[in-house]
């Protein structure tokens, strides 16, 4: 555990009422906890058990359950962590904003400087201005600390929050899930400055600098690229206009002067490009996709940098995503669904043959090109080499992607492999054939809980008109255990091709 926590455990013990009742043991009573915690350097890293022992001593001195002490410590800790993260925190953020961006703050403050660190895995989905759903997973199972931190943040920002916990690892669930709602705000809320200096013991250095590997070039200064002018040229390509913009960056329509063709160029958001981990993920998307040459995978022409910003030059596609097509066209014929599934499987087989796992197979990452609606798999932003653990930019088990199409292993502790992509393909085929998703849930957390339990509604029940052998394949693709899914994407493509030929003439 990071030494910064021990520094604040000492501050926490000092803040408690004087005269706590001493109990037996080597680290007991308020003064003893303060003395013990003072032995840990804020810039160091120490066993989790040491921090738990100190908090246990505080709990015993207060004659209260350890869980109550941990929650109380979280409330105490929250505003101090906001100050430490100050340069990375938008001054306009409040409780839900900060919780929503906690994962990227953890990456900037801890993982960049200490790649081997194991901070908690967090995935937040903002439901509205006053509600956020959060998934938490960690081998430490410190969900009580997380609850205290959220309440402490709310107090810091002059807000009150209500927290529901539908799932909890302490109750045997595979992850903790929280529904956080803002219940009220102080009319004249005030809180400490975000950029307050954190004073540490002499000789320990700046914890904020140690944790964040502080570099002025990494700190936000302009809020992104909203006011950036459209460039005239990028990497020898004449820019024709802006196609769209999103959280990761901008996409431009451009003309390749050398080969006389139109292309699309994705340029990374200026603020995100200051995060080395985010830059690496962006460039990895281009390199991963460029390594696969196949008719059903988007073609990447080149990867480079322009004015300090990474960019990817890619094939310009004419058509729409599978999600948009289904929304406009409604239910698709069985033969067309099988054809689309086959082409997705063929594209995945090509990627898997190069050792790449896409990790985010969903309708918005399947593009239907031209009048024939030929499949192109896009957005390899989460792809990684299947056997390259060094390429992991987030801790094992991180919840990334779109919840409805996530395989159970992404929520748990198993590693992802080619069979994880097959699960996403199965969910898409189920949705196209049944007109609904296989796993029920009205929120991200309830959807993930349904996937974790592995209990989809059988396709034969959801869509009785679908031939039994098609239903069987789709359900095998969505098997809860990876070993129960088909062996590989190439075999799935062959099976879908056989079914496509069989049922094309019957419609």
DSSP three-state, residue 351: helix
> How far apart, in whole angstroms, are the C-alpha atoms of residue 333 and residue 416?
32
Longest alpha-carbon distance in the chain: 85
In 3D, which of 309, 221, 232, 314 has the Cα closest to residue 267? 309
The two beta strands, 319-321 and 159-167, are unpaired
Bigger pLDDT: 440 or 413? 440
Placement of tokens 């779109």 in the chain? 402
3-class secondary structure per residue, 187-201: CCCCCCCCCCCCCCC
Placement of tokens 């505003």 in the chain? 79
Supply the pLDDT for residue 121. 66
In 3D, which of 113, 118, 111, 153 has the Cα closest to residue 132? 153
CA dihedral 251, 253, 258, 259 (to 10 degrees): 110
Tokens of 186: 């102080």
Bigger pLDDT: 174 or 101? 101
| pLDDT tens digits along 314-369 | 989 889 999 999 988 887 899 999 999 999 999 999 999 988 888 889 998 999 99
> How far apart, in whole angstroms, are the C-alpha atoms of residue 502 and residue 504?
6
Tokens of 204: 């320990």
Q: Has residue 35 got a pLDDT over 90?
A: no
> How far apart, in whole angstroms, are the C-alpha atoms of residue 463 and residue 481?
23
Tokens of 20: 């706590």
> How far apart, in whole angstroms, are the C-alpha atoms of residue 134 and residue 179?
6
In 3D, which of 295, 368, 377 has the Cα closest to residue 336? 368
Supply the pLDDT for residue 195. 35
Taking only Cα atoms into account, the Rg of the chain, rounded to an integer number of angstroms, comes to: 26
| pLDDT tens digits along 229-250 | 788 999 889 999 988 876 567 8
Q: What is the mean pLDDT of the chain?
A: 79
Contact, 321 vs 368, CB < 8 A? Answer: yes
* CATH dotted code for 233-315: 3.30.200.20
Placement of tokens 């393909």 in the chain? 425
* Fold type of domain 66-197: H-NOX domain (3.90.1520)
Q: Has residue 116 got a pLDDT over 60?
A: no
Placement of tokens 């004659």 in the chain? 63
Supply the pLDDT for residue 369. 93
Task: Name the DSSP class of 376.
Answer: E
* CATH dotted code for 320-504: 1.10.510.10
For 109, half-sphere exposure in the C-beta direction (CA atoms, 13 angstrom radius) is: 22
Tokens of 211: 């944790």
> How far apart, in whole angstroms, are the C-alpha atoms of residue 175 and residue 182?
23
The residues annotated as belonging to the active site are 360
In 3D, which of 503, 342, 483, 347 has the Cα closest to residue 419? 483
Q: Has residue 484 got a pLDDT over 70?
A: yes
Supply the pLDDT for residue 114. 56
Contact, 42 vs 201, CB < 8 A? Answer: yes
The fraction of the chain above a pLDDT of 70, given in percent, is: 77
The fraction of the chain above a pLDDT of 90, given in percent, is: 33
Q: Has residue 58 got a pLDDT over 90?
A: no
| pLDDT tens digits along 270-283 | 777 777 767 877 78
| pLDDT tens digits along 431-460 | 999 999 998 776 667 777 788 778 889 999
> How far apart, in whole angstroms, are the C-alpha atoms of residue 57 and residue 52?
9
Residue 461 host element (H or E): helix 459-462
> How far apart, in whole angstroms, are the C-alpha atoms of residue 342 and residue 337?
9
Q: Band of the pLDDT at 43, cuts 50, 70, 90?
A: low
Residue 477 host element (H or E): helix 468-477
**Number of CB atoms found within 10 A of residue 282's CB:** 24
Contact, 22 vs 29, CB < 8 A? Answer: yes
Supply the pLDDT for residue 201. 43
Q: Has residue 493 got a pLDDT over 80?
A: yes
């Amino acid at each position: 555990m990071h030494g910064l926590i021990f520094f604040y455990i000492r501050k926490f013990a000092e803040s408690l009422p004087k005269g706590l009742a001493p109990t037996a043991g080597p680290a007991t009573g308020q003064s003893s906890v303060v003395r013990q915690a003072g032995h840990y350097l804020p810039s160091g890293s120490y066993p989790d058990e040491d921090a738990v022992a100190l908090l246990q001593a505080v709990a015993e001195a207060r004659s209260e359950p350890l869980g109550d002490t941990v929650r109380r410590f979280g409330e105490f800790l929250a505003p101090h962590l906001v100050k430490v993260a100050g340069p990375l925190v938008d001054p306009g953020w409040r409780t839900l904003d900060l919780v929503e961006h906690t994962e990227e703050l953890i990456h900037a403050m801890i993982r960049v400087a200490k790649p081997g660190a194991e901070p908690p895995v967090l995935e937040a989905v903002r439901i509205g201005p006053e509600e956020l759903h959060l998934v938490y997973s960690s081998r430490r199972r410190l969900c009580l600390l997380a609850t205290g931190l959220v309440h402490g943040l709310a107090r810091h920002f002059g807000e009150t929050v209500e927290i529901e916990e539908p799932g909890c690892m302490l109750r045997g669930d595979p992850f903790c899930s929280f529904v956080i709602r803002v219940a009220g705000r102080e009319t004249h809320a005030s809180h400490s400055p975000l950029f307050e200096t954190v004073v540490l013991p002499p000789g320990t250095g700046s914890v904020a600098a140690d944790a964040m590997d502080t570099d002025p070039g990494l700190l936000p200064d302009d809020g992104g690229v909203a006011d950036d002018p459209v460039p005239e040229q990028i990497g020898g390509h004449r820019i024709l206009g802006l196609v769209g913009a999103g959280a990761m960056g901008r996409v431009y329509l451009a003309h390749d002067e050398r080969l006389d063709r139109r292309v699309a160029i994705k340029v990374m958001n200026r603020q995100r490009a200051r995060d080395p981990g985010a830059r690496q993920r962006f460039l990895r998307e281009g390199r991963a996709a460029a390594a696969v040459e196949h008719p059903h995978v988007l073609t990447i022409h080149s990867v480079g940098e322009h004015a300090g910003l990474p960019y990817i030059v890619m094939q310009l596609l004419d058509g729409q995503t599978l999600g948009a097509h289904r929304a406009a066209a409604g239910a698709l014929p069985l033969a067309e669904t099988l054809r689309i599934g086959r082409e997705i499987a063929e594209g995945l087989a090509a990627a898997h043959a190069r050792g790449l796992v896409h990790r985010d197979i969903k309708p918005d990452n399947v593009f239907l090109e031209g009048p024939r609606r030929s499949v192109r798999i896009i957005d390899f932003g989460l792809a990684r080499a299947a056997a390259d653990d060094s390429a992991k930019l987030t801790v094992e088990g991180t919840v990334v992607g779109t919840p409805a199409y996530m395989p159970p292993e992404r929520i748990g502790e198993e590693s992802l492999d080619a069979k994880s992509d097959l699960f996403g393909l199965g969910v898409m085929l189920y949705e196209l054939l049944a007109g609904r998703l296989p796993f029920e849930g009205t929120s991200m957390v309830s959807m993930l809980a349904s996937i974790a339990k592995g209990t989809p509604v059988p396709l034969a029940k959801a869509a009785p008109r679908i031939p039994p052998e098609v239903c069987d394949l789709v359900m095998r693709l969505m098997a809860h255990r990876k070993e129960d899914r088909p062996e590989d994407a190439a075999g799935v493509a062959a099976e879908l091709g056989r079914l496509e030929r069989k049922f094309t003439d019957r419609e």
